[in-house]
Structure formats: structure tokens, C-alpha cells
Amino acid sequence: MRKNGSIHKIIQVAPGSIAEEYGIEPGDSLLSVNGSEVEDVFDYRYLTRVEDLTIVIRKEKHSEEFLAMNLSPDEPEDWELEIEKDPSEDLGLEFESGLMDEYRSCRNRCIFCFVDQMPAGMRETLYFHDDDARLSFLQGNYITLTNMSDHDIDRIIRYHLEPINISFHTMNPALRCRMLHNRFAGEVFDKIKRLKEAGIEMNGQIVLCRGINDKAELEYSLKAFEQYLPQLRSVSVVPVGLTKYREHLPKLESFDRESACEVIEMIERWQNYYMERYGIHLVHASDEWYLLAGRELPEAERYDGYLQLENGVGMIRLLTEQVRETLEQTDAPVRTPCGKKRRVTVATGMLAARTLRSLADEITAVFPDVTVDVAPIRNDFFGEKITVSGLITGQDLVGQLQGKDLGENLLIPVNMLRSNEQVFLDDMTVSQIEETLQTKIVIVESDGRSLVDAITGTT
């Protein structure tokens, strides 16, 4: 039996899974699949997507299965298991590392990097510069491709992994080198061409920096994306986020209302161009541009199915549509039993406060026994230029809401918290804030029905 090669420790086996049926336990390790080493999660997912499977598992010496066989420490401990399954059926294994490999740190030093704008004293993981292609497929992260070798591109093409999310920032190679502070950053366009020719679907983003990759440079980039159609499905344009911690970093300026209007007008002109020729809008301005410009958000149809929600493109339009659809399905007005009144407070970022106030008014028109206070939270932690709700810290919530009558509940959007945890960016917990504010916190998912239910107390 094999003793060397890549070893991936198993930390959990799903109950009722194939792995459990075959006696695999936490603490065991995966050595190979169908005779091939497993480099990382790419290989694992591809190699196990078959009907007939042979895997080699190294058993933990003290596992129940190992002890039941009365094997001595000198006996072989590698099991070769032959498995028949549906190609789409998962084995039920969870590994020590989600990537089954070390995370790859970023080789760039982008002039707009948010990690470099973090204050000292926060948890270590917040200072990790991530640019790992595998997270593009697993979590939707955007990557610059500067970390990717030809071997990585070969595997994406061989396994046909898609979509891949790419941080373009500019289509000008020399400017890209300057913005990413990496002399090789302009070489990625050959890799992107290979992905396009292989039929790999792509999404893109541009972090727009005033006076650097906007105006004529943005015009050039929006035109140049045409060469990647139809594999390139969408490109978002988002304004650079600037915290107050930019000492010794390149000087960057915030966009104002006038410059935001210019960006919107350019993007909408190119949307019309692509729609007329290809039937898609392709390029999209994030919601921040419209709120900053004081303009009405585009209609739902203009978002091409909301491909860029995680980049804040169409999030407010979709939320508005979902709230209204939920209210339309409700017989108005809805009175609470015995005329009981309900009052809640909704905390949000400065940017979306006006929209939340408007939606709250629409909800209370249908539920007249409910009163909603919208509390825009100023970002003192990162600086007032940061206006989105996803970067609000627990200490700013406490600092600005303590001592106020918040009603029965304080509602916060789920994006204020770490993924799948009740912890804010500054490591304050939901329970700590509840205790300080003496108010029950309700975490609201991002869809409109969840907002209506949380406000009305029907959850």
C-alpha cells in the first residue's frame, strides 16, 4: 500500500454518507483517488465526479474501525476502498483545510487594497492578502490571476471549472502593472484569452480610482471587454473604498456626486451598446454610484439576472422588488391582535439609509400597528468615507445606539457579521451588544421577505 504523497486529513464525516458507510472516520486521511494524488479541492471534486471510484484512506491508529480489526501498530493501515455511486453524489468528507491545501497570499500591492487600510490590533486573518483562484469557485472571490501559473490554468480548462471571477481593474497592461504594483500584472491577458478560447465562463470587476482608471481609461476598458464575449458574462464597476488609515499609502480621492454621474452615464451608454449587439448589458454600476449621484436605480431587467449581487450590483433593486412582492401578497391593512403595537429599529449604513426608510414606510402602510425607526450608523471605526453596512463594527453600533429606546428589537443585516458567525469585524459578538444595549438583536437575511418578516415580527 502507498505510504507517501499528498495526505489530506479528514475532520468530519457526514452522517448517512457514503464515507460513513465505508467506515471512514474523523482523523483518517485521504491519500489518493483513482490512483491519482489529490493536489487540492480542484482535483478532489473532479476525480470523485465518477461512478466507479477507488480511494486510498489511511486509518487513524486509534479509530474504532482500526481497533476492531485487532491490528498492531506495525500492520498496514492504508485501506483501498472501491465505491460505486452516482457521479453527482458527494462522499461526505470534510477536510482540515477547505482548499485541501495552503491558502495562497496575494503577490500584488494594489494602490486601493482594503487590507492595507486596516487599523492595527485586529484579528490576524483580516490582514491576509488573499488572491487564491480556488476561492473564486468556492466562495465567489475575485482574483487578479497574477498568482496563477500555466499549470493552474491548465487544470481549470481540463476540469472546466466555471465561472471564474476576475479583478480586471483596467484593460491597459501598463496601467494594471502600476495599479497592482506588480510588473507582471499586465501579462494576465494571455491567460484570460486561453480561458475564453476554452469556453470558460467569466465575471469581472473594476475597482475604480478617481483620476487613475476612470474617464478615458474606463472607456477603453469597457470597449475592450468585447473581445471576451460571450464567455464574459458580466463586469461590475465599484468605487474604491477609502478608510482613514491610509498613512504612507498612495493618495486617492473619493468620488463625488458629479463624478458619480459621469461614471453612470458612461456605463449606461456601454450597456446600450452591448444590449443592441449581444443581448446583454454586460457592464454594471454598483448601487453605490446611484446612491452617491442621487439617481433612481435601474429597473430590474437591466441587471441581467443579478450576476453581481456580491459586488453590490442590484442589491437594493432586488430587495425593493422582493419587499413589494411580499406586500402585494398580503391583505392590507394587517392589524395585530388586541391592537398591540410593535416598534423596532433597523440599523444600516449611511448609504442605504434613505432606501431603508422608504421601504419601512411601505411596510408600515400595510402593517399600521408597526413603527420602524431607521438608524444610519456613521463609520467612526474606518472613517466616514466608508458608508456601507457590511463594514459597520460592533463598537460603532454600541457607541451610537447606547441609551436610545430601540423598541422591541434591533434589526441588523446579516452582512455586518462574519460568515456563519455572530461576530462583527471588531470581534464584538451579537450577545455582547444585546447585553450592552439591553435589546434583542434580530439578524436579517438579505432578501425582502426576511426584512418584512423581521420588521413585523412574523419570524
* Class of the CATH domain delimited by 321-456: alpha beta
> How many alpha carbons fall within 13 Å on the CB side of residue 445?
9
Task: State the Cα–Cα distance between residues 254 and 326, nearest whole angstrom.
Answer: 37
CATH architecture of 8-95: Roll (2.30)
Distances (CA, A) of 224 to 283, 300, 428, 448: 12, 26, 45, 36
Taking the domain 115-312, which CATH number applies? Answer: 3.80.30
Packing angle of the helix pair 188-197, 150-159 (nearest 10 deg): 20
Cβ atoms within 10 Å, residue 376 = 18
**Along the 459 residues of the chain, how does pLDDT read in single tens digits?**
333 347 899 999 999 999 999 999 999 999 999 998 898 888 888 889 899 999 999 987 655 555 555 555 555 489 999 999 999 899 999 998 777 777 666 778 899 988 888 888 777 766 566 655 565 555 568 888 988 889 889 988 988 888 999 999 999 999 999 999 999 999 999 999 999 999 999 999 999 999 999 999 999 999 999 999 999 999 999 999 999 999 889 999 999 999 999 999 999 999 999 999 999 999 999 999 999 999 999 999 999 999 999 899 999 999 999 999 999 998 778 876 666 899 999 999 998 999 999 999 999 999 999 999 999 999 999 999 999 999 999 999 999 999 999 999 999 999 999 888 899 999 999 999 999 999 999 999 999 999 999 999 986
- At CB < 8 A and 24+ separation, what contacts does 244-247 make? 244/382, 244/383, 244/384, 244/385, 245/117, 245/118, 245/119, 245/382, 245/383, 246/117
Domain positions in the chain are: 8-95, 115-312, 321-456
8-95 and 321-456 share one CATH topology?
no
Whether the predicted model's global pTM rises above the 0.95 cut: no
> Where are the alpha helices (H) located in 337-385, listed in sequence order?
353-366
CA distances to 5, 198, 221, 236, 284 from 171, rounded to whole Å, are 41, 20, 5, 14, 16
Q: Quick one: pLDDT at residue 68?
A: 58
**What is the reported pLDDT for 114?**
87
User: Beta 283-285 vs 342-349: how paired, if at all?
Assistant: unpaired
Look-up of cell digits 485487532: 70
